[in-house]
């Protein structure tokens, strides 16, 4: 039997603004087993339309075990969606796990915030590996997502992207979409990112920040320009972090129920 065949497997799906991506995850290494598969996010991204797309990704792999799915807003542990800053407002008040489960054939579904999923994966298998203490992951994209992890345990649904910083919501000040919209240089944008990091570090005193999102690929251009006090490192799992973290959350749910 090959290493891959003997791996403890999980399955994760990352629901983003443009794509719904999934893959089989080796839960012991955080590596994907085989390729990712992506379908375009339906527009409008209503709950039922997204659920059908998630089902399409699950079917592609013929996966019939438990799965984790990310959502780009607040999802409390009872599965209820509470915010929809950058997605269709029809999600608010819906039970995300039930809606997605309704399009599948009985697989158990765990839904969690997208940044929380990325944080779980980065802390364990990525840039946070080997670090102890409080880690804050921030993702910079259309909005700003956040995750707080303390020695492997996630404090879910922190929403630092919506903190008011200098009279403005953090994500309206420093998301990477703001840099694009304003045509800012890295130097100009990094000033705003520093303000957000300082607001967060004054409130929670993390030991490490991990910065993710597409713009973290260019981290060498801007992370050295930050002037906040907490060390900052770039995410390393790139676009598999959400998939891996979702699979980890589903696995933790199954384990918790079995105990």
Residue 22 interacts with ligand BGC (CB under 6 A)?
A: no
User: DSSP state, 226?
Assistant: -
Kindly tell me which residue out of 37, 53, 69, 86 binds ligand BGC, with binding defined by CB under 6 A. Answer: 86
Kindly tell me which residue out of 41, 110, 139, 190 binds ligand BGC, with binding defined by CB under 6 A. Answer: 139
Residue 176 interacts with ligand BGC (CB under 6 A)?
A: no
**What's the CA gap between 149 and 131, in Å, rounded?**
11
The mark string for 177-196 relative to ligand BGC (x by CB under 6 A, - otherwise) is --------------------
Number of H helices, E strands in the chain: 9, 12
Give the Å distances, CA to CA, from 117 to 18, 70, 76, 112, 228. Answer: 18, 7, 14, 7, 25
Kindly tell me which residue out of 41, 53, 83, 110 binds ligand BGC, with binding defined by CB under 6 A. Answer: 83
Residue 206 interacts with ligand BGC (CB under 6 A)?
A: no
Kindly tell me which residue out of 101, 143, 212, 245 binds ligand BGC, with binding defined by CB under 6 A. Answer: 143
In whole angstroms, how close is the CB of 172 to ligand BGC at the nearest point? 10
Give the Å distances, CA to CA, from 34 to 9, 13, 142. Answer: 12, 14, 29
Kindly tell me which residue out of 79, 126, 145, 242 binds ligand BGC, with binding defined by CB under 6 A. Answer: 145
When computed from its CA atoms, the radius of gyration of the chain, rounded to whole angstroms, is 18
| End-to-end Cα separation, the chain, in angstroms | 30
Residue 115 interacts with ligand BGC (CB under 6 A)?
A: yes
Kindly tell me which residue out of 73, 79, 101, 245 binds ligand BGC, with binding defined by CB under 6 A. Answer: 73
**What's the CA gap between 42 and 40, in Å, rounded?**
6
Using the contact rule CB under 6 A, the part of the chain among 52-60, 140-148, 183-191, 215-223 near ligand BGC is 140-148
Residue 216 interacts with ligand BGC (CB under 6 A)?
A: no
Kindly tell me which residue out of 39, 85, 198, 254 binds ligand BGC, with binding defined by CB under 6 A. Answer: 85
Size of the site for ligand BGC (CB under 6 A): 17
Residue 72 interacts with ligand BGC (CB under 6 A)?
A: yes
Using the contact rule CB under 6 A, the part of the chain among 60-68, 69-77, 91-99, 180-188 near ligand BGC is 69-77
- Reduce the DSSP state of residue 27 to 3 states and report it: coil
> Rounded to 5 degrees, what angle do the CA atoms 241, 243, 245 make?
65
How many CB atoms are located within 10 Å of the residue 219 CB? 17
Residue 80 interacts with ligand BGC (CB under 6 A)?
A: no
- Residues in CB range of 38: below 8 A, 6 or more apart: 19, 20, 21, 22, 57
In whole angstroms, how close is the CB of 252 to ligand BGC at the nearest point? 19
**What's the CA gap between 117 and 145, in Å, rounded?**
10
Q: Which residues contribute to the site for ligand BGC (CB under 6 A)? A: 72-74, 83, 85-86, 113-115, 139, 141, 143, 145, 159, 161-162, 171
């Amino acid at each position: 039997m090959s290493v891959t065949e003997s791996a403890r497997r999980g399955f994760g799906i990352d629901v983003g603004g443009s794509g719904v991506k999934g893959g089989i995850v080796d839960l012991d290494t955080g590596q994907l087993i085989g390729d990712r598969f992506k379908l375009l996010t339906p527009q409008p991204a209503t709950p039922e339309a997204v659920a059908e797309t998630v089902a399409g990704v699950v079917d592609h792999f013929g996966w019939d075990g438990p799965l984790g799915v990310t959502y780009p807003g607040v999802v409390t542990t009872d599965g209820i969606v509470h915010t929809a800053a950058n997605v269709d407002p029809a999600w608010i008040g819906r039970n995300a796990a039930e809606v997605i489960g309704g399009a599948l054939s009985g697989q158990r579904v765990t839904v969690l915030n997208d940044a929380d999923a990325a944080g779980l994966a980065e802390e364990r298998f990525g840039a946070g590996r080997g670090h102890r203490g409080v880690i804050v992951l921030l993702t910079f994209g259309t909005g700003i997502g956040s995750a707080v992890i303390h020695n492997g345990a996630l404090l879910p649904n922190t929403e630092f992207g919506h903190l008011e910083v200098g009279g403005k919501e953090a994500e309206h000040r420093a998301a990477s979409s703001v840099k694009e919209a304003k045509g800012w240089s890295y130097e100009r944008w990094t000033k705003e990112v520093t303000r957000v990091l300082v607001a967060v570090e004054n409130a929670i005193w993390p030991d490490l920040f991990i910065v993710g999102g597409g713009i973290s690929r260019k981290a060498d251009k801007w992370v050295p320009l930050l002037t906040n006090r907490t060390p900052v490192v770039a995410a390393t799992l790139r676009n598999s972090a959400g998939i891996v973290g979702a699979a980890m959350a589903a696995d933790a749910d199954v384990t918790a129920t079995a105990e």
